[in-house]
Amino acid sequence: MPATAADLLHRLDELHLRFQLHFVDHVRLTRDLRRLDALIAESEALAVEADAAAQVAPEDDWQRVALAQARRLETYVEARGAIAQAHAVAGLRDREASLLTGRGRLVLHRYVRHFAGQQRRTRDPGRLQEMIDDLLALWRQLEPLATRLQVPSVAEEVSAVGQFIGFFMAERDELRTAWRAGDRAAQSAAQAEILATLEADWQALVLATPRHLRRLGLLDRLITTLDQSLETLMALRHANLPDAHEALVQRAAARLVAWQDERAATARAQLDAPPPLAELHAQAQALFQAWRQRVAGDKAKRDRAWLALQCDRLEEVERLLTAHAGGLEDAELAWVRDILVAMERSFDAVVVAQEISEL
């Protein structure tokens, strides 16, 4: 049965969404021309299908279909030319460096979600250390490329990675100092908030994920911060503190034992398991679809905490896929990173909209 004009308009919209997700507002040097060529071919094929369907049902709104297809195809072809030109003036080293700095920008998004505008004494130093480690790993890959780059903007991006390493290290030291700021009661209250955050992350990112799909580094980070928090709580013990502080100590100690046991069980479950790439890709698709269903409407009324959690969950998938990837040109991994960028941007937009609405 031939497609209707409404059917083809829907498919054109889906095609355009893919274009927006993977090509709009991305660094041109990082874009895959083969993927854009495939998208252009699909658009042209839809035009042919529309022409054939119009012969069967000429009364349908085919003019609207043709206009939408032609305008969008023009946009895709124009974008292809700009991307091809960017590739032509750059070397392979520039492209590799730009792909790597793209991962660095994801780390910066993570900082914005979890640290920007937050009280230092309630933040997780383990998360910040993990971000420093991520940037240092990127720097080790970028440093050999940095001396022979042809594109000035790429050289600036590489330099920025090094600058942010220094910034995050200084911020980590400030955060650790903030943990010890204030009187015993203030420090106890801050540690209570830290423990609550760790428990929420454990529930949402660890227990909600099957053992074979967990990143052991995540469990290690949460356990390490919990151990540090428990040590701080025990050092704060004093007769003048309320009973709630002692209850907090006991709660943290119980969590530490349980989490260490769960970490051991997770490691055992992963011993003989092959890399679950298909399941990770399916998990990424599910997160993307859930996000799509919730991003429409008034930004000022969206659930910021839910969006942040979705970013955290997809970030875990991206990190696991990166560990298994054969190289920077992994198409499935590139898709996941583009979706993560889109979700991060939507979170940023919601934050701005909500701040404006509160003025």
Question: How many structural domains is the chain composed of?
Answer: 4
Q: Both 186 and 265 in a single domain?
A: yes
Residue 169 pLDDT grade (very low, low, confident, very high; cuts 50, 70, 90): very high
* 182-200 pLDDT, tens digit each: 888 999 999 999 999 999 9
Task: Report in angstroms the alpha-carbon separations of 144 from 27, 93, 95, 116.
Answer: 21, 9, 14, 31
Angle at 157 between CA 154 and CA 158, to 5 degrees: 90
DSSP, residue by residue, 87-133: HHTS-HHHHHHHHHHHHHHHHHHHHHHHTTTS-GGGS-HHHHHHHHH
Where a domain ends, among 151, 181, 211?
181
Residue 298 has pLDDT above 70, yes or no: no
Residue 194 CA, chain-centre distance (Å), reads 22
Where a domain ends, among 214, 238, 272?
272
Tokens (6 digits) for 259: 């989490």
* 123-158 pLDDT, tens digit each: 999 999 999 999 999 999 999 998 889 899 999 999
What is the value of pTM for the model shown?
A: 0.91
Between CA 205 and CA 215 the distance in angstroms is: 10
Query: What integer pLDDT is reported at residue 273 of this predicted model?
Result: 76
* 309-353 pLDDT, tens digit each: 999 999 999 999 998 876 656 788 999 999 999 999 999 988 888
Q: Both 193 and 267 in a single domain?
A: yes
Supply the range of the domain harboring residue 190: 182-272
Residue 117 pLDDT grade (very low, low, confident, very high; cuts 50, 70, 90): confident
